[in-house]
Amino acid sequence: MADTVTVHVPAKVNLQLAVGPVRSDGFHELATVFHAVDLIDEVRATRAPQGAGVSLTVLGDDAESVPADASNLAWRAAVALAKHAGIDPDVQLTVTKAIPVAGGMAGGSADAAGALIACDALWRLGTSRADLDALAAVLGSDVTFALHGGTAIGTGRGERLSPVLSTGTFHWVFALANGGLSTPAVYAECDRLRGSAEVPAPMIAPALLQALRAGDAVALGQAMVNDLQPAAVSLRPQLGLTLDVGLDHGALGAIVSGSGPTCAFLAHDAESALDIAVALSGAGTCRTVVRTSGPAQGARVIAMS
């Protein structure tokens, strides 16, 4: 029986984020194309004595700004899974961050998905995929996608997934900002900017799906669009400068990732990604720059000991 289970879980970028009207539950109706990228948080679950409950240590990039208590989504995921299984949530969790905190790349959701998979293996529950999806959807809008990875359409709050056919590998550069942006604040700013205008039902652009099917990075770069971008740029005007730097240095497309403030740049190839990364680092408008690729696999066990 394993005493420690280690899980890797990817960040996401929304290739399109179409934000529709506000629903009666306060969430916005979405149509989005999620794309998992190889920027990975590690979640480790270690056996704890009976009655110990959950404990959590957060390590890595910007760890000090992550709450290591019962409000953390990874902690809540462990409690939700144990409740579902009718057992006590005795586990020591260690989360090692590489995904930017409050960066619009679903880092907290990734940690929740990682905790579900790690605890399910540690406690030898064999929870069905459907039950894990249901638990994930309650934890947050992006947690279900972090379980699945790859590239997928999300509807509803983002938790209802359907697969997307995508070929090839895409090269990405991410510009990480100083400090995060609050997701609710960005949605609220989006509502404020829209004022009383009628908001149409959100739709995915056929050109974007066609670009993914064909593995066509040039067409994908042109089709990428994020309805939250005006709101994120309104709250953090410097993001406009960062996006321009990437576009001026060969990016095929540049968008704010999710609710921001991370900016995502699609590159032609690994060499072009390096050029974009060097230019962004030199411009001094962001905290750090990461080069990676997608699509990446969803939450998965990488070691048991």
Tell me which residues touch ligand C5P (CB under 6 A): 27-28, 30, 140-142, 157-158, 183-184, 187
Smallest gap from Cβ 26 to ligand C5P, in A, equals 7
- Find the catalytic residue in 3, 12, 41, 62: 12
Smallest gap from Cβ 30 to ligand C5P, in A, equals 5
Nearest to ligand C5P of 76, 97 (CB atom): 76
**Active-site residue flag, 83:** no
Smallest gap from Cβ 221 to ligand C5P, in A, equals 25
Nearest to ligand C5P of 114, 246 (CB atom): 114
Smallest gap from Cβ 142 to ligand C5P, in A, equals 6
Q: Which two tokens stand for residue 227?
A: 């309805």
CA atoms within 13 A on the CB side of 219: 13
**Active-site residue flag, 62:** no
User: How far is residue 190's CA from residue 202's CA, in Å, rounded to a whole number?
Assistant: 14
User: How far is residue 202's CA from residue 204's CA, in Å, rounded to a whole number?
Assistant: 7
- Strands, DSSP E only, in the chain? 4-22, 28-47, 54-60, 91-97, 151-156, 160-163, 170-176, 225-226, 253-256, 263-267, 288-294, 300-304
Smallest gap from Cβ 102 to ligand C5P, in A, equals 11
Burial of residue 205 (CB within 10 Å: 0-12, 13-18, 19+) is middle
User: How far is residue 223's CA from residue 253's CA, in Å, rounded to a whole number?
Assistant: 8
- Crossing angle of helices 107-122 and 73-85, rounded to 10°: 40
| Helix %, strand %, coil % of the chain (to 5) | 35, 30, 35
- Find the catalytic residue in 38, 41, 111, 142: 142
**Catalytically annotated residues:** 12, 142
